[in-house]
A and B are shown apart, each in its own frame.
Chain A
Amino acid sequence: MVAIRNEKCLVNSMVLLRLFIGWHFLYEGIIKLYNPDWTSYGYLASAQGPFRPFFIWMTNDSMIGMADWGNKIALVFVGLTLLLGIFEKWGAIVGALLLALYYLAHPSFPWVDQLNVEGSYWFVNKNLIELVACVVIYQMPTSRYFGLQRIFSKKEVMTHTK
C-alpha cells in the first residue's frame, strides 16, 4: 500500500508522537489531580453546539463529581500508558474518546460561538488533530520498540523458547 523509505525513521517519529501526547495528557491530569479546587463545571456548563443538553446534564449535582474524577483518571491513564509504553492501544482509544468529548462540547463549527479559544479554527481544531494522532498511534503501536512492553514481550519470548 505505502512504500516506506526509512522504516527506522518512521518508528522513531511514531515513538516521539506517542511520548508527546502521553506527556500532554499526563501533565493535564496531574495539574487537576493536585488542585482540589479544579472542576470541569465551567467547561461543561458553557458547552455549545448540538450536544449542549448532554453536557449541561453532566453538570448536575449527582453527575459533576463523577465527571471530574472520570476526567482526571482518564487523563492520567492515557498519559501513563503512552509515556510508559504499555497498553498503549487502550490509552489511544481512551485518549481519542476524551478528545471527542472535548471537541463536541466546544465544536469549531462556524455557526457556534467560540468561547475561550486561542487561534482560529474552521471545523478542524487542535483537539481534532490530536484525536486523529491517537487513532494513528492505535494503528501503529510502538511499545514493543520503546516502552515497558518491550521488556514484557521479551520475557514472553524467552519463556517460550525455553
Chain B
Amino acid sequence: MKFTRRDALKGLGGIPLMGAVWWAGAANTVAEKKERSAILEQLNIQPSLPSAVPGIGGNPIRIGIIGFGIRGEQLCRALGFATNEWKEEMRLAAEEDPKHTALADFEAQDKLNVQLAGICDIFDYQANKALNSFNTPDNKMERFRTFQEMNRSGKVDAVVIATPDHWHAPMAIDALENNIHVYLEKPMTHTVEETYRLREAARNSKAVFQLGHQHRQTLSFQTAKDIIQKGTIGHVSLIQTNTNRNDDNGAWMYDIHPDASPQTIDWDMFLGSAPKVPFNKNHFFRWRKWWSYGSGLSGDLLSHDYDRLNCVLNMGIPDSVMASGGIYTHRDGRNVPDVLQVNMEYPNFNTGSSQPKGKEKGMTFVYSATLGNGFNRPTILMGHDGTLELGNQLTIWPDGGSTRYTDMIEAKKMNPGVPIYQYNPGASTPDGVASATSQYFADKGLMWTYINGARVDSTFLHMREWLSSARNGGKVSCGIQEGFEEAISSHMAGLSYKLGRRIEWDSEQEQLKPIEGIDFDEALLASM
C-alpha cells in the first residue's frame, strides 16, 4: 500500500479546521476581554475595602440594652449575645435546610470586648428572656425598671436604644447628658423640636453617639461613592428609591404575645409623651401604625432610603419636600399612610457634569412606596452619562445620549442595553434568605455586606465602629450631623403628607420655613 496525496488530505484535513475554530474562539474571547478591561480602566472604579478599626482594649465595655424587642434582639446578636430560644430555632432551621447558615454565621462572628451589664425593657417577658440567656457567670446582667435608673447606676458605660420612635430622643438625651455612649436606632427623632435638643446634647457630651444606619458599613455603598465622584454616570438629575411590600408583616402587623397584660407591661412607661389611652396590645406591638409612637413609611422606611443615598452623595437636607399618599391597602384602624410618594428637591445640588458648565444643576430625590405590591423596583440613580442601580450589588449602564461615552457608543464598544460595570462581591456565596421582608432588606444592603467573599452582618460592623470610637476615639459613620439630616428630611416628608403642602428648609437659619398658623410638631403628632 502506498501513502497517497489523497491520504494526506483526508488524514490531516481536520487540522486546519481545528486551527480555525481554536483561533476564532481565542480571538473572540480575548478581544472581548480587552474591550472590557479598556472600559474598566477608563472608568477606574476602586472597589472599597473594609476600613480597619482599632480593637477594644482594656476592660470590657459595659453595655445597657434599652428595648429588647425585635430589633433589640438583633442588636444583641451583633454584639455577640443570642438568646437560647433563637439558637435552638436556628439549629432546627439548619437541620432542615443546610443552606440556613444564621447560627454558623453568628458563631463565626468576631468576639467584641463587651459585657451586657444591664437590661431595661418594660415588658417582663422580654426582660426575663434577656436575663435567662445573658445573665451568666461570665456576664453579670442586671434588670433596671427605667432607663433613667440605668443611666445613673454607674453600671453601664454605653447604651443601645431600640425602643419605639417616640422614646428615641428622650432616652438618648438622658444618656448623653450622663456621658454614656449611645447607639440609637433610626429614625433619630419623633418631632422636629427634639431633633435640635438631641443635637445639642450630643455636641455637649463627652460620649460618642452613633445612629443605627448600619448600611453605612456596606462596601457597595462606599464603592458607589467612588463611582459618583469619578463622574461615571455624570450629572444625576433623578434618584428613585422604593418600598414594595405585600405582606402583613411588612405592613407592621406583628404578633401579639400571649403574656402581654397590664400586669406584665408598664403601660405608662410605654406611653411616655404619647396621648394617654387605656392599655392596648395592638398599640404596644404594632406601634408603627400610629403617629403617636411611630411615623409610618416616612420614619420607618424612607429614613433608610434617604440615608443610603445621603451616605453616597452627601446631599444633605432638601430645599423643599412635597408628599402625598393615603391609607389604601391596610384599612385596619391605623393612621399612618401605607402608600406614600415623596419628592425631595435639591435645586443646587450637582454631582459633576460632562457638559458645558452651568447647563446642569439640581436633582430630585423620589421615594415611592406601597405596602400593597411586592414587585421589586430597585434603587436607581439616573445621570446624563449613565444609570446606576444601587444595592448590595452595583450595576452601571451607559446612557444612549451620554456626552462622556459618545465615542464609545458610536464605535459600538458600549451599548446602552449592556452594563459597563458590575459589582457583585458575593457572587459565589449562595444565600439562604428566609422571608420576603428579609430579602427586601438584604437587597437594600441593610443586612450584610461581603468582605473577601464572606458574608458579614453590617450591624456588627456598625456597632464595632461605635464601640471602637468610644474606647479609642475616632469618627463614627453615622454621627449626630448625619442623624440631624435624616431626622429633618423624614419629618419634612411626614409634614408635607399631613399638611398637603410644600415644606421648605432654610439652610442659613437651619430651620423649617414657618407656615403661618401651623405648629409643625403638633401637625406631625396629630392623629389625622
Contacts and interface: CB of A to CB of B under 8 A. Distances in A.
B3 interface: yes
Given A31-B29, A45-B430, A151 B21 contact: no
Contacts of B8: 151
* Max chain B C-beta neighbours (<10 A), residue from A19, A83, A149: A83
B451 interface: no
Interface residues of B, number: 24
B11 A147 contact: yes
A30 B22 contact: yes
Contacts of B26: 30, 33-34
Nearest to B23: A30
Contact of A148 (B12, B21, B33): B12
Contacts of A33: 25-26
Contacts of A149: 11
B28 interface: yes
Nearest to B29: A34
B70 interface: no
Interface string B11-53: 1111101100110111011100100000000000000000000
B510 interface: no
Interface stretch (A2-10, A107-115, A129-137, A154-162): A154-162
A123 B446 CA distance: 43
Nearest to B27: A34
A83 B17 contact: yes
A158 B1 contact: yes
B10 A84 contact: no
Given A23-B21, A30-B22, A30-B25, A154 B14 contact: no
Interface in A80-116: 80, 83-85
B1 A148 contact: no
B58 to A, nearest CB: 38
Given A19-B17, A26-B22, A41-B428, A151 B28 contact: no
B29 A30 contact: yes
B11 A150 contact: yes
Nearest to A157: B1
Nearest to A38: B29
A146 B21 contact: no
* Max chain B C-beta neighbours (<10 A), residue from A59, A154, A161: A154
B7 interface: yes
A124 to B, nearest CB: 27
A93 to B, nearest CB: 19
Contacts of B1: 154, 157-158, 161
B25 A83 contact: no
Interface in B383-430: 427-428, 430
The secondary structure that dominates the A interface is: helix
A35 interface: yes
A65 B24 CA distance: 26
Contacts of B427: 41
B7 A146 contact: no
A73 to B, nearest CB: 15
A27 interface: yes
B428 A26 contact: no
A83 B18 CA distance: 6
Contacts of A22: 14
B14 A19 contact: yes
A69 interface: no
A23 B24 CA distance: 11
B17 to A, nearest CB: 5
A141 interface: no
A55 B18 CA distance: 31
A77 to B, nearest CB: 12
Interface in B429-459: 430
A79 B3 contact: no
A147 B11 CA distance: 4
* Max chain A C-beta neighbours (<10 A), residue from B18, B24, B427: B18
A84 B18 contact: yes
B89 to A, nearest CB: 24
A151 B22 contact: no
A146 B15 CA distance: 11
Contacts of B29: 30-31, 34-35
A133 B28 CA distance: 28
B10 A79 contact: no
Contacts of B3: 151, 154, 158
A145 interface: yes
A64 B428 CA distance: 10
B14 A26 contact: no
B25 A151 contact: no
B14 A151 contact: no
Contacts of A147: 10-11, 13-14
Contact of B14 (A29, A64, A146): A146
22 contacts: A19-B14, A26-B25, A27-B25, A30-B21, A30-B22, A30-B25, A30-B29, A31-B25, A31-B28, A31-B29, A33-B26, A34-B25, A39-B428, A59-B430, A64-B428, A79-B21, A83-B17, A148-B11, A151-B7, A151-B8, A151-B11, A154-B1
* Shortest beta-carbon contacts, A-B, top 9: A30-B25, A151-B11, A34-B29, A150-B11, A84-B14, A83-B18, A83-B14, A26-B21, A146-B10
Interface of B: 1, 3, 7-8, 10-15, 17-18, 21-22, 24-26, 28-30, 33, 427-428, 430
Interface of A: 19, 22-23, 26-27, 29-31, 33-35, 39, 41, 45, 59, 61, 64, 79-80, 83-85, 145-151, 154, 157-158, 161
